[in-house]
Structure 1
């Protein structure tokens, strides 16, 4: 079931909310059970065959946690290792068995083994959430003996499919708070506002820009410079608004129930360096990789060489988490390399007292970071290495520079100059070319110059505590776009919601569903 579908918006959500608040008047436990049951129904809507797998995973991890708390088992460390290994084994089988089999066949030259394994939706997220819970339980950071609340913690439908990756200590105190079981008009208004903005990002921007990205990655042929960049930038902003929209919708849905999810997205394309990018993109995954992989590997405690090796290992494994393919390995490697280069540069800039806080420098740094991220996205999106390398060659002008005939005709005054620069023409595609760059310009305007959702609702969004410095708007535009429960905002959001609903004829999956 998709958030951006009529069955969810007009049936599942109102029935679930109504039942939750009615039952919550009588019993918190039964209301939590109702929400957990609704979340299981939400998951089973996709494919009921994988519902037993989810329940088995939850039951197994709950049993392990009960024996780890507080290190009751005589071999608690071994039990923790076995529990984490079992979780990872499940994830590896469903997500990577086919990849490993294909790689083995290529290396050995043996007949290719085709494994027909369907990836259970959300398996990466509920696996990582439970691994974090096991580790925190072993370390004595959390204690949870109520199975219904643990079931709700793992299956809670706003986050179940594509995150954020939750920590037990963030969620369980909220589920135990009796105030969330009473309907709140304020919480409903804030949640609905955030949800409407997220829905608009998804259906009005991401889905409309997607057709200009797919042709390049599906049939790259020999793309000229502008065609290659138009496809890559279209995908860059499609992914941005798709994932940002989902994150907003998840937070908004949860706020309707009075529960605050951690922020997962904070205008990452405005970042001035790659480290800042990863503090703003998929924030809960970055936190998980830092706390449960980078720091246990040694972090930065054993000198620069070890630090760079740990960064590379963390990002490569983070790339593999996103998908089973060598292109994801390369994507993770590139980001590990980016982070290492950034550390070297930051140390050098500090030693040389370079004016890195000057505004021109920040603009250049933001642009360079954005270009580096775009290059890495090519491997993230491409189906294979050959496609990625072809597109990269086009982005660097390897197939020349060309414009549609209709566009060249409109630029007849400068045609001689364009010809001397090596710009040629080709038949057809003029309207598509203009539309693509029009959507890219519009998306860039929103992403770089407008406040993000948490900035818009910053006075009503306590979850901003998870983002240091968030909500510091400057400029007339930012101040004008601060949300408040007024009639003007109600009308504006009503129009936005209506436009989004009218665009739901063909609901499209969120890109992060495949991870």
Structure 2
């Protein structure tokens, strides 16, 4: 079931929310949480009911392992290691079997000249997200950083439907304490209005913007492997996909935040204007924030972080990003995407170190592995140069993320260099009709300007200082006027729901 479907908007959400709010009026706080858990499992099973037992088995195993690890964490040091290793291994084997086994056997078979006859299997929805989520819980439990969570609360923590399919990757310390709080169960007009606003903005991003951009990007990437694209065609496709991915995933994240607010739960924001980043390090502070935090805390630091010299630090950065790329999908294109970002980060850190040694930067570097500081010079020109260069690097990397094969990716990049020519013919804009012929490029340029200049959803809807300072959008307020605007946008978006399109991160 997708957030942008009639069955979700017209049936599942109203029924689930209505019953939840009625049960929240009763004195027993367990009833609304139990209902929300059952509704979340129904939501998960809508796509493939056979995967619900798999999710429940994962929940039962990790809850039991986490409880045992929490008890052992109070014992002498080292007593948790065998069980923690077992727990993490079981989770990795689960995701490895469903997500990577066919990829590995295909590559082994290609090298050995053997056809194992194994075809792609149906990937359980959200397995990448709920597996990482539970691995983090096991590690924290082994280190004494988890509370004594009950099975019902833990099941809701994993299965909570707004974040189950495509994140954010929620930390147990952020989500679990919210369940059952009296203030969260009480209905809030402000929270309800804010939740609907976030959901509407996210739905608009997905249906009106991302799905439209997909009609530009998909044909270009589809033709790249078999046709000699011009540079204009290739760049139009690459930029369209960069914007499609941004509005698709940020739209999902906005909808998840909005749905959480409807149920009195605050989910973390996953985006903070990533295309306004001034370098790659800054980009990973802003893009898919919860994944960046997981990779930093549970992979990069565990590999040694920056504690063993520069060479080891750069190796850890590279390995972290390669594994992060592999997490996104079982394919060489995803590995190449992660490796490219690993190289970007190494160059970025090396450049910062060089600037620091040369005394070209005032102040000190912020510590924090993958999340260290910003690029640079504080001048307006330096900021825009860094922003443009970062977006260029990110767009090149997205080509690997989108392409279905390495050959297709290299064909796109080859075309983007101008090797096949820059345009199909002379550009003439002598009339309105000529201008309309370039509507794709005009839309892409307009949306890119929005991403580069405008405040993001949370800054606009929550009234953060950034939205007021930029002044590019009128401040959203709890007024009848803005309620009418939101209602019109919501109704217009519903008219565009002629077909249901999956989110890009839907089956990762």
Q: Specify if TM > 0.5.
A: yes
In 2, the alpha carbon distance for the partners of 1:230 and 1:312 equals 30
Partner residue of 2:477? 484
TM-score calculated relative to the size of structure 1? 0.91
Q: Given the alignment, which residue of 499, 503, 506 partners 1:506?
A: 499
How many residue pairs get matched? 486
Does structure 1 residue 374 correspond to structure 2 residue 384?
Answer: no
CA deviation profile, 1:88-126 (whole Å, cap 9, x unmatched): 000001000110011101212223533341111100011
Change (3 A) 1:476 1:315: closer
In 1, the alpha carbon distance for the partners of 2:359 and 2:263 equals 50
- Residue 219 of structure 1 aligns to a residue whose secondary structure is helix
The aligned runs of 1:440-451 (5 Å cut-off) are 440-451=444-455
- Residue 423 of structure 2 aligns to a residue whose secondary structure is strand
Shift of residue 353 of structure 1? Answer: 3.9
Shift of residue 482 of structure 1? Answer: 2.2
Partner residue of 2:490? 497
- Residue 153 of structure 1 aligns to a residue whose secondary structure is helix
TM-score calculated relative to the size of structure 2? 0.92
Does structure 1 residue 239 correspond to structure 2 residue 240?
Answer: no
Change (3 A) 1:222 1:433: farther
Shift of residue 491 of structure 1? Answer: 1.6
Partner residue of 2:415? 394
Is this contact kept in 2: 1:105–1:113, CA < 8 A?
no
In 2, the alpha carbon distance for the partners of 1:504 and 1:281 equals 27
Partner residue of 1:417? none
Is this contact kept in 1: 2:33–2:180, CA < 8 A?
no
Partner residue of 1:282? 288
Partner residue of 2:46? 45
CA deviation profile, 1:295-333 (whole Å, cap 9, x unmatched): 010101111101100000000000000000111111000
Q: Given the alignment, which residue of 390, 404, 409 partners 1:383?
A: 404
Does structure 1 residue 294 correspond to structure 2 residue 300?
Answer: yes
Shift of residue 252 of structure 1? Answer: 0.5
Q: Which runs of 4+ in 1 moved over 4 A?
A: 72-75, 409-412, 430-433
Shift of residue 409 of structure 1? Answer: 5.2
In 1, the alpha carbon distance for the partners of 2:320 and 2:492 equals 41
Partner residue of 2:259? 253
Partner residue of 1:35? 36
Shift of residue 176 of structure 1? Answer: 3.1
Is this contact kept in 1: 2:455–2:470, CA < 8 A?
no
Partner residue of 2:378? 357
Superposed CA RMSD: 1.9
Is this contact kept in 1: 2:65–2:87, CA < 8 A?
yes
Change (3 A) 1:95 1:434: same
In 1, the alpha carbon distance for the partners of 2:279 and 2:30 equals 46
Shift of residue 159 of structure 1? Answer: 0.0
Shift of residue 69 of structure 1? Answer: 1.8
In 2, the alpha carbon distance for the partners of 1:169 and 1:68 equals 16
Partner residue of 2:147? 143
Partner residue of 1:425? none
Partner residue of 2:7? 7
The aligned runs of 1:302-321 (5 Å cut-off) are 302-321=308-327
Is this contact kept in 1: 2:62–2:134, CA < 8 A?
yes
Does structure 1 residue 472 correspond to structure 2 residue 466?
Answer: yes
Does structure 1 residue 457 correspond to structure 2 residue 461?
Answer: yes
Is this contact kept in 2: 1:204–1:503, CA < 8 A?
yes
In 2, the alpha carbon distance for the partners of 1:367 and 1:319 equals 23
Change (3 A) 1:511 1:432: farther
Shift of residue 398 of structure 1? Answer: 1.1
Shift of residue 194 of structure 1? Answer: 0.9
Is this contact kept in 2: 1:125–1:163, CA < 8 A?
yes
- Residue 424 of structure 2 aligns to a residue whose secondary structure is strand
In 1, the alpha carbon distance for the partners of 2:453 and 2:424 equals 29
In 2, the alpha carbon distance for the partners of 1:211 and 1:112 equals 36
Shift of residue 499 of structure 1? Answer: 1.0
The gaps in structure 2 that reach 5 residues or longer are: 362-376
